[in-house]
Structure 1
Amino acid sequence: MENISLNQTGDTEGMLLCFPHLQGSCPRTLRLSVIRVAMYVFMLTTILMTVCGNLLVIISISHFKQLYSPTNFIILSLAVVDCSLGCLVMPFSMIRSVDGCWYLGKHFCKVHSSLDMMLCSTSIMHLCLVSVDRYWAICQPLQYRTKVTTVRVTVYIVIIWLISFVFSFGIVLTDVNSMGLEMLTNPCAGSCILVSNKEWGIIASLVTFFIPGTIMICLYVKIFHVARKHARFMNDRLATVTCHELKNQGSEQRERRAAKTLAIVMGAFLLCWLPFFITTVIDPYINFLTPADIFDALVWFGYFNSTCNPVIYAFFYPHFQKAFKIIIAKAIGLKTTSNILLSS
């Protein structure tokens, strides 16, 4: 989701231009070669980690039937979103970030900006849906199996994709977000920026971040409160449990561990995206004074959330950890079996 500052200069004399043969070309961003190389290395590494990590999640859930569950179908869809962001958005954003130029034309700029907003919004809404799923599993366990089914989860996922598509493409293609900013958004050749006026800066941020984020925080606070009560209750009964109760206790422990893992995912999401959305809301009220490089850095910090999710699963979620090991072992030619019990 991009929103680059308008704090640019119109003086191109003595500067390298994005399109030297065109009148009214944007100036290229001048950087030392070592800085350009460092930026490309960092961004390419982030893109590769995002794509490969989320592909591991996609392959794991698709390949191992033991991972088929409503929760994991949400995570599967989330991984598809994050992988798509790494393939379809981040490479083009990388070139624009380093050179300060958009070389692919006005129409593809619209498509890129729409996909950027759509995929980032969809990723955030998926994390919100995961928190709802965990709330039902931990706080309403008796109703969970009847209320949260694969069919219902699939419907919710489709709704999220549709809402994000209509909202994002609708905003970008109609330019409703830049109404009243015509004097500021007079683009030069090689520019591809997405700016929001005061109204739409608030509306878009509320819909795509602050409302889902608030829901997630409230639900996880409730989840941890219930999890602590369960933990105290089980400690009191530890000396008198039966074998059947031990089995139920292990199940509850796995549920709490999954909830904590997904809370870490939420924390990473807040850390990565909160600075960007705060700046998006504030920037129109300070006449877009935020430097372009600062805004660009915040965008990439937000992208980094899509890199973090599979890393968190690998280190904190035992089922995925075992599945990743099997897939990587097969990829490098080691003999293994996919019949290993992932739930052990």
Structure 2
Amino acid sequence: MNSSFPRLVEAVTLCFMSLNESCPRTVYTLALRGPLYLLFAVIVILIVIGNLLVICIIIFSQHLHTSTNFLVLSLSVAGLLLGVVVMPFSMVRSLETCWYFGKVFCNFHSTVDIILCNTTVWHLTFISIDRYLAVCHPMEYQKQMTNRLCVAMIMSSWSLSSVFGFTITLLDPEIKRKETFHMNCFGGCFALHTKEIGVQYSIIFYFIPVSIIVTVYSRIFFVAVRQSKLIHSYNYNPKAPLKSKGFKATKTLAVVIGTFLVCWTPFFMCNIIDPIIDHSVPPLLYEVFMWLAYLNTMFNPIIYSFFYRWFRETSKNFWERLLNILI
């Protein structure tokens, strides 16, 4: 039957033709793989450049050495590592539908992927808590948000994610999947697709952080609105919009959290539903959700540049100084 849609799959073959236990390979047409390689490469480059810029700006700007920005710095380090260590190999796996880098590197790649993605989620959680203290308790903020607490937040994010990532690697959940998913074949590299680990993973690194973020953000929103109305009442002007530092910070946080939810929710929902329905979620759909989650790492530096004036001004000064040094 003829179709008006272009053909996307060229052939179904094996990852390693000489091996009987090779995983199956879906060969996408060059017309599909070419643009997608270009798109993914651009995404990786933007993630690396954007997060590297944030890191450099915070490190080399003394006035930005605050607890909030140290959390942002650590978040950007995770994003940079994700763009350099994880995503290029995920790109090849997604588009070639095979893993050509060996079993040992598969375990390393999966572990680092889990650690960096989960670290990102927990950093966003702690940043929302930091903003809660700044907006809802401004008088006590400097006293409460100490460098020691900031370091504890950063270490907790990395430590909890690392423990869980290495635990998954040691448990080797791939062997628990059904044989129909070729988890014991050569050329496959998958993780987090067992029912038990998928549910635990999603609860620890999505539903708990999201519950904290939504609760904290709701509190910030109501406090910021109340502060804005109070300021508005002292300087009465019926046509003037409600404005305050806290309210602006709340709108920015809303964009950050909204972007996070849009990027990560489909992946975690798929991660829970797939084992329950006997792994019948199409692999292509899972890959799309995975790359949508990766995009969150690209959006964060863009949000900083659009919504934080200090970032725009410092970025401009940073580039001017860099050009002066080079010239």
Q: Same fold (TM over 0.5)?
A: yes
Per-residue displacement from partner, 1:78-126 (whole Å, max 9, x unpaired)? Answer: 0001111001100000000110111110011011001111100000000
Does residue 123 in structure 1 map to residue 112 in structure 2?
no
2:299 aligned residue: 308
Q: Distance in 1 between matches of 2:72 and 2:26?
A: 38
1:286 aligned residue: 277
2:93 aligned residue: 96
2:198 aligned residue: 201
Question: Aligned to 1:69, which of 58, 66, 71?
Answer: 66
Does residue 270 in structure 1 map to residue 267 in structure 2?
no
**Which amino acid in structure 1 is aligned with residue 59 of structure 2?**
S
Q: Distance in 2 between matches of 1:323 and 1:37?
A: 37
Question: Aligned to 2:111, which of 110, 114, 125?
Answer: 114
Q: For the Cα contact (< 8 Å) 1:55–1:79, is it kept in 2? A: yes
**Which amino acid in structure 2 is aligned with residue 32 of structure 1?**
T
Structure 2 length normalisation: TM-score? 0.90
Shift of 1:191: 0.7
Shift of 1:150: 1.5
Identity of paired residues, percent?
38
Q: How does 1:219-258 map to 2 (within 5 A)?
A: 219-238=216-235, 253-258=244-249
Q: Distance in 1 between matches of 2:297 and 2:220?
A: 24
Q: Distance in 1 between matches of 2:195 and 2:24?
A: 27
Q: Distance in 2 between matches of 1:101 and 1:290?
A: 18
What root-mean-square deviation, in Å, do the aligned CA atoms of Structure 1 and Structure 2 show? 2.0
Q: Distance in 2 between matches of 1:330 and 1:144?
A: 33
Does residue 181 in structure 1 map to residue 177 in structure 2?
yes
**Which amino acid in structure 2 is aligned with residue 112 of structure 1?**
H
Q: Distance in 2 between matches of 1:23 and 1:238?
A: 78
Q: For the Cα contact (< 8 Å) 2:122–2:205, is it kept in 1? A: yes
2:33 aligned residue: 36
Q: Distance in 2 between matches of 1:299 and 1:23?
A: 29
Structure 2: runs of 5+ lacking an equivalent: 1-10, 237-242
Shift of 1:334: 5.7
3-state SS, counterpart of residue 28 of structure 1: strand
Question: Aligned to 1:82, which of 66, 79, 87?
Answer: 79
Judged with a 3 Å threshold, the aligned counterparts in structure 2 of structure 1 residues 179 and 210 are, in CA distance, closer, same or farther, namely: farther
3-state SS, counterpart of residue 30 of structure 1: strand
Structure 1: runs of 5+ lacking an equivalent: 1-13, 240-251, 337-344
Q: Number of paired residues?
A: 310
Which deviates more, 304-313 or 184-193?
A: 184-193
3-state SS, counterpart of residue 29 of structure 1: strand
Shift of 1:189: 1.1
Which deviates more, 178-187 or 188-197?
A: 178-187
2:8 aligned residue: none
Shift of 1:68: 1.3
**Which amino acid in structure 1 is aligned with residue 179 of structure 2?**
M
3-state SS, counterpart of residue 193 of structure 1: coil
**Which amino acid in structure 2 is aligned with residue 174 of structure 1?**
L
Q: Distance in 2 between matches of 1:203 and 1:261?
A: 31
Question: Aligned to 1:323, which of 314, 317, 323?
Answer: 314
1:259 aligned residue: 250
Judged with a 3 Å threshold, the aligned counterparts in structure 2 of structure 1 residues 91 and 200 are, in CA distance, closer, same or farther, namely: same
Q: Distance in 2 between matches of 1:129 and 1:205?
A: 18
1:164 aligned residue: 161
Shift of 1:30: 1.3
Shift of 1:335: 8.3
